[in-house]
């Protein structure tokens, strides 16, 4: 019989005069039940086996030791990382390392520029946006691809130094920023790890030179506005030299603007190779060529052209003459490594770091680690400044290389974590080639996976994503298939399609 039933039966056996009130009977039952629960708990506690008690004690000890270890690791001196260059790779590396190291970024200008967006901005446009041809709209398009470094590194525990044209010497333990004038002292910045991410330079307006007035954001906008005013005025012919991605996108953007404005302007594209986009599979170049011709671009390929005066070119093979009113050079990209070529007579600890360069002036690296060959293991090169396959000269690869190197630095001293990270594996090529604000080609590996407005939407998403340095995790992207497959029949790819 349960305790409650026993209590009730005993209460019923009492004489009516001795029976308690209902409230008293409820109190009695509560006391009995509480005593029963307490007794059972004591019995359970007494029956608890010794190994369970030991397990709980071990768990408490493990938690205490973990907390103590974390406190000890937080007191370990943070490694000092210097990042030379603040393009895609440099900024991404700094952002990834800011919570783990003391990071200082050095660049010659005061702002980040989303270079893939400059081509549309030169025509006063941007992806998925209708151009109004007004100066204020063009200014907004240009401003949308520029971000001050003070804003990027705000509250991100990264120190930024703008050299403003001052020379830099790289040594095996520090970077020296020379004084702006002979009367000013040099600034010596020691490092534990050095990341060279100075990128590449273009002749002309396509990419900021980072010198003179273009060191400031306003100066760069002024230079761009002047070039745009010369290009987009009516009844002009713009000659673009170079049929790579840059030349193709620039020709498409200017042709789209000329068509919409209907102001008598025209675009000519010259390329020395046998076809446009010769670094990509044939069917992609064929598709783009058809699209450009359909939009009114005059395309000349298959021979070199020599410049004849300021705005004219003569074909080397057939001697045909191409004349225009304005010339844009979409070739001649060079790695920004001139500062590494300045040798000094100093020896010992004052000697300039001897960084090996390939025939094109790019830094020779170990492709599995991104470390610079022939110097100490703590020097890395990422982005366009590094010697690597031409198909990897994209902003996306600069991002992934920077993320990988930052992870290696974070794992310094942790052999197990470094072994798990492994060698650098390039993710598949994923790019969008713009053919106007609402047209384009999306390429994954060797395949065209989207054209038309779908590709334009992807291009707009890429610009939105990368200008904010949102995650594009290397660890995930490297596992995607490379899509190295037989090319599609070019006849099946029509510029009018939007698959």
Q: Give residue 157's pLDDT.
A: 87
- What is the token pair recorded at 274? 């046998």
What pLDDT, in 10s, does the model give residues 383-412? 999 999 999 999 999 999 999 999 999 999
Asked if 132 contacts 265 with a C-beta cutoff of 8 angstroms, the reply is: no
Strands (E), 410-489: 430-434, 440-444, 447-451
Give the pLDDT score at 275: 95
Q: Do 117 and 174 touch, CB atoms closer than 8 A?
A: no
CA atoms of 298 and 265, how far apart (whole Å):
12
C-alpha to C-alpha distance for 242 and 269, rounded to whole angstroms? 7
| Tokens 């020097």 -> residue | 379
Give long-range contacts, CB 8 A cutoff, 24+ apart: 388-391. Answer: 388/362, 390/279, 391/279, 391/280, 391/429
> On the CB side of 241, how many CA atoms lie within 13 Å of its CA?
23
pLDDT, averaged in runs of 10, over the chain (499 residues): 42 46 52 53 48 55 49 63 97 95 96 93 83 70 92 89 90 88 80 97 86 92 88 89 96 91 92 94 94 96 94 95 94 91 59 90 97 90 96 94 96 95 96 93 94 94 91 91 68 49
| pTM for this predicted structure | 0.80
CA distance 96 to 88: 12
Tokens of 265: 């302007």
Beta strands per DSSP E along 382-490:
430-434, 440-444, 447-451
Q: Each residue of 363-379: b (16+ CB within 10 Å) or e?
A: bebebebbbbeebeebb
Task: Say how far apart CA 131 and CA 142 lie, in whole Å.
Answer: 12
């Amino acid at each position: 019989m349960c305790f409650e039933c026993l209590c009730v039966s005993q209460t019923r056996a009492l004489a009516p005069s001795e029976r308690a009130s209902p409230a008293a009977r409820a109190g009695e039952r509560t006391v009995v039940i509480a005593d029963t629960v307490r007794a059972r708990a004591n019995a359970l506690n007494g029956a608890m086996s010794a190994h369970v008690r030991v397990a709980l004690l071990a768990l408490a000890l493990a938690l205490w030791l973990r907390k103590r270890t974390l406190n000890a690791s937080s007191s370990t001196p943070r490694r000092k990382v210097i990042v030379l260059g603040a393009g895609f790779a440099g900024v991404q590396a700094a952002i990834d390392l800011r919570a783990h190291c003391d990071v200082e970024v050095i660049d010659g200008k005061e702002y980040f520029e989303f270079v893939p967006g400059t081509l549309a901005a030169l025509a006063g446009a941007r992806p998925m946006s209708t151009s109004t041809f007004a100066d204020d709209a063009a200014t907004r398009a240009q401003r949308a691809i520029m971000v001050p470094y003070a804003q990027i590194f705000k509250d991100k525990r990264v120190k930024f130094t703008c050299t403003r044209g001052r020379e830099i010497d790289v040594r095996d333990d520090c970077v020296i920023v020379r004084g702006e004038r002979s009367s000013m002292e040099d600034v010596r910045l020691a490092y534990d790890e050095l990341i060279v991410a100075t990128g590449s330079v273009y002749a002309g307006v396509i990419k900021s030179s980072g010198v003179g007035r273009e060191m400031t954001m306003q100066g760069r906008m002024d230079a761009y506005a002047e070039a745009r005013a010369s290009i987009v005025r009516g009844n002009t012919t713009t000659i673009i030299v170079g049929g790579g991605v840059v030349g193709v996108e620039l020709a498409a953007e200017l042709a789209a603007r000329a068509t919409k404005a209907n102001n008598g302007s025209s675009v000519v594209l010259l390329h020395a190779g046998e076809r446009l986009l010769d670094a990509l599979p044939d069917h992609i170049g064929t598709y783009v060529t058809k699209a450009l011709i359909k939009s009114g671009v005059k395309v000349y390929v298959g021979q070199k052209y020599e410049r004849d005066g300021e705005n004219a070119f003569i074909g080397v093979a057939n001697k045909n003459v191409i004349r225009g009113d304005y010339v844009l050079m979409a070739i001649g990209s060079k790695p920004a490594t001139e500062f590494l070529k300045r040798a000094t007579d100093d020896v010992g600890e004052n000697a300039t770091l001897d960084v090996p360069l390939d025939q094109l002036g790019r830094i020779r690296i170990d492709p599995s680690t991104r470390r610079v060959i022939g110097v100490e293991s703590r020097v890395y090169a990422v982005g366009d400044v590094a010697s690597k396959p031409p198909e990897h000269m994209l902003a996306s690869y600069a991002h992934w290389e920077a993320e990988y190197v930052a992870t290696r630095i974070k794992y310094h001293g942790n052999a197990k974590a470094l072994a798990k990270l492994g060698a650098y594996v390039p993710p598949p090529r994923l790019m969008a080639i713009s053919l106007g604000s609402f047209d384009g080609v999306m390429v994954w590996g060797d395949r065209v996976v989207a054209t038309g407005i779908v590709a334009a939407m992807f291009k707009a998403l890429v610009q939105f994503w990368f200008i904010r340095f949102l995650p594009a995790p290397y660890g995930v992207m490297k596992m995607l298939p490379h899509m190295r497959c037989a090319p599609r029949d070019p006849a099946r790819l029509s510029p009018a399609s939007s698959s």
